[in-house]
A and B are shown apart, each in its own frame.
Chain A
Amino acid sequence: MKKKLNLLCLCVIAAFLLSVSGNVQMIVRIFINGFEIGMKAAEEGGEMPVLPAYKQIHTMPTDLTEVTGTVTNLKDGSQLAIKPLVSLVECPSMPTSSAAALWEAMAALVVIVGFIYTTVYFCKLIVQINRNIVFDWTNVKYLRRIGWGLIAIFFCAFVSVWITNYQLSQVVALKGTEFNLLLAFSDPTFILGFIALLAAEVFALGLRLKEENDLTI
């Protein structure tokens, strides 16, 4: 049983690493790119170029006949239309309210702390189960914390997306699409949080049954 459980845990960790690998790769590439631009500017002795700030937006196609953007057909060189759902767009300079800036900073912090928090409690849960402490109120507590942690992560990320989408919708437009927040719900942390809470309640029910069984003489 433990072999199967540990194998599943490895799968969860692998799936988690794969799910964040795209973002990590993007951050590393942007960092390297910025570093190279900075190095080049320093070597040439010129002024440091101002790098554009990019923000993520969620858009939904509204008119398929309008050309939002194009990709090149490598066979004949023709241009084919694209309809982006999640895109990184250059953020124009715009007045940002201090409350929104503070919220974005806080949300980013909560997301990082939340991921560490849920990972720690996930590891604690696995250690408990490996010690043969399965039906225990501590495990229910850990599962509830994992669930609420994941939901908090989603909530902070969602509000950040909402603020960014709202701010950018005031200053930029993508032809044939509209800003849409529904795609932000595809974040797996949202459903995983509720699944963890559901698992906690199933554990709690099992525990109550076990306690009743233990007190049946």
Chain B
Amino acid sequence: MPIIVNLDVMMAKRKISLGELAERIDLTPANLSILKTGKAKAIRFSTLGAICKELDCQPGDILEYRPDE
């Protein structure tokens, strides 16, 4: 899939753990892990909004388009 999830990069920049972020945005750590590892097929606007709010960033900081080679 050409959409890359850079959640781990943003989390490292903000020095926040997966469990803590999951608790703050009211998501299970398992689901956040699916998103972080790029296994997710889609992301809800509400989830993306909550992540951006907590990490103080833009959607483009989390999602990146990289065409398939």
The chain A residues found within 8 Å of chain B, CB to CB, are 211-212, 215-217
Measured CB to CB, the closest approach of chain A to B7, in angstroms, equals: 10
**Bound-complex Cα distance A212 to B39 (A):** 11
Q: Report chain A residues within 8 Å CB of B44.
A: 216-217
| Shortest Cβ distance from B47 into A: residue | A217
Mask: chain B, 26-68; 1 = CB below 8 Å from A; 0 = not: 0100011011000111111001000000000000000000000
- With contacts A217-B42, A217-B43 known, what are 14 further pairs, Cβ within 8 A? A212-B41, A215-B34, A215-B41, A216-B40, A216-B41, A216-B42, A216-B43, A216-B44, A217-B31, A217-B32, A217-B34, A217-B35, A217-B40, A217-B44
Measured as residues with beta carbon below 8 angstroms from the partner, the interface class of chain B is 10 to 19
List B contacts of A217 (CB < 8 A).
27, 31-32, 34-35, 40, 42-44, 47
- List 15 A–B pairs whose Cβ atoms lie within 8 Å, in order of A's numbering: A211-B41, A212-B41, A215-B34, A215-B39, A215-B42, A216-B41, A216-B42, A216-B44, A217-B27, A217-B32, A217-B34, A217-B35, A217-B42, A217-B43, A217-B44
Partner of A215, one of B27, B40, B47: B40
Q: Which of A212, A215, A216, A217 has the most CB of B within 10 A?
A: A217
Q: How far does the alpha carbon of A25 sit from the alpha carbon of B32 in the complex, in Å? A: 63
